[in-house]
Structure 1
Amino acid sequence: MSYLRKIEYTIIPEEPFKILRNCSGCGCKTLFHNTNRFRVNANGNKIDVWLIYQCIKCKHTNNLTIYERCKPESILQQEYEGYLSNSGKLAFEYGTDSKFFTRNKAEVDWSNIKYIINRQNGMIAGNDQFFQKGDLLVIHNSYSLKIRTDKVVSEILNLSRSRIKELEKSGAITVTEERQEHKIIIKIEKEIITKEPFEVKML
């Protein structure tokens, strides 16, 4: 089947993820935030690099490993300089990389992730007043944010979750989630008129 329009969206985090871990200062499990600072340690011909996280309550720190006992020549010069200068861009990249947290066995706090949904042409989701029969909507979740599919679809179509269920049941839309490719696909089978535009940024 050919589609009239293919409209693509991208889910983008607005800030680095926070992590949950036991804090020796607080004596309990607390939130740690990304300080946007790196620690670099040179020991002989080996280098260690960490991204520093800090307890939001008592300021105790926890280092997440980026490189451990690594040869200096294996790190790009520009990247190494970014660690030394505490590059905010580099800290954001690591702070939103799910694989980085998995490697460090760090628990991400998915309950308070702030994000925006951008349309490919730069428009914020919710600015469309209607979708036509034959539209194909592709939502890319490249950062692997753990957000409910029905919530994302609700935000894109600017309709309540209960209304989304009704549309799926009636065959007006079909929704599929391709987890391996980190995307959600919405096929519009009947014209849909949305509510007034709004912008939702938080889970």
Structure 2
Amino acid sequence: MNSSRSIRVPADGRGPDIDRKALWVVSELGLPTILRACVSCRSKRHRPTGKIRVNANHKLLDVWLLICCDQCGRTSKIPVHERVTVRALEHERLVRFENNDPAMVRQLAMDAALAGRAAYRLDWTGTWRLDTDIPFYDLGAGDAAPLEVIVRFELPAPVRVEKLLTTGFGLSRSAVRGLVDSGRVRLPLPVDAKAREDFTFLVHAAAPKSPGEPRAGRPA
């Protein structure tokens, strides 16, 4: 992934010029583990089988995502739709269910709302990595241009912002907290929040001055 160094946002009084951009991507390594008790061995770790079962009862449909226990291999069902009419489902969606569409299986396996309705949890451990492409940036140089970092998610894994920063910059938690507290890293959400959607933040070489703060060499 290549960062862009040629795009400049003209200064208009609302923010600094940005001529350096970097892309961080939360890349997908695998699907989350489905945590619910197996009725056979009581293990709690399950994986999607890649299959979706559709059962028709007259004009009503049941749709289940099939999962299997990591320990004993027992297959069980997660209800996606129960007793819905054929007309209640979009035709394309129904066809994808019937054809075990891999993209649909992936979508259902990552669906936090479905997990809440079916009373199970998702374990995102080992499902992502952070790929970064940062141009040379000297945080100690006071005259360096700000850097805009664009964070994109390939999967909706809930990742703590602090974890993204420590991984992306290769810094300790205390160093990252210091950058945020000093204003050198400006975030659109709290550093201890969990993000699962794209966002952008700014990195300044030195803490930006507050409005009205006198410049060096000028009387207050």
TM-score band by shorter chain is 0.7 to 0.9
Q: What displacement does 1:182 show? A: 4.1
Counterpart of 2:100 (choices 86, 92, 96) is: 86
* The structure with more strand, counted as a fraction of residues: 1
Match of 1:19 in 2: 34
Contact between 2:149 and 2:200, CA under 8 Å: does it hold in 1?
yes
Counterpart of 1:114 (choices 127, 130, 139) is: 127
Do residues 55 (structure 1) and 62 (structure 2) align? no
Match of 1:130 in 2: 137
What is the aligned residue count?
A: 183
Residues 114 and 143 of structure 1: CA distance in aligned 2, closer, same or farther (over 3 Å): closer
The percentage of counterpart residues that share the same residue type is 20
How far apart, in 2, do the equivalents of 1:12 and 1:83 lie? Answer: 26
Contact between 2:25 and 2:132, CA under 8 Å: does it hold in 1?
no
Contact between 2:156 and 2:196, CA under 8 Å: does it hold in 1?
no
Counterpart of 1:39 (choices 36, 40, 53) is: 53
How far apart, in 2, do the equivalents of 1:147 and 1:50 lie? Answer: 28
Aligned-CA RMSD value: 2.8
Contact between 1:177 and 1:183, CA under 8 Å: does it hold in 2?
no
- Give the alignment's TM-score, normalised by structure 1: 0.75
- Give the alignment's TM-score, normalised by structure 2: 0.70
- Structure 1 stretches lacking a partner, 5+ long: 118-123, 192-203
Give deviations 1:128-176, integer Å, cap 9, x for gaps.
4337532232424585423222111122334343432333344432334
| 2:36 alignment partner, SS class | strand
Give deviations 1:91-120, integer Å, cap 9, x for gaps.
01111122221222211123x241144xxx
Match of 1:163 in 2: 175
Contact between 1:46 and 1:70, CA under 8 Å: does it hold in 2?
yes
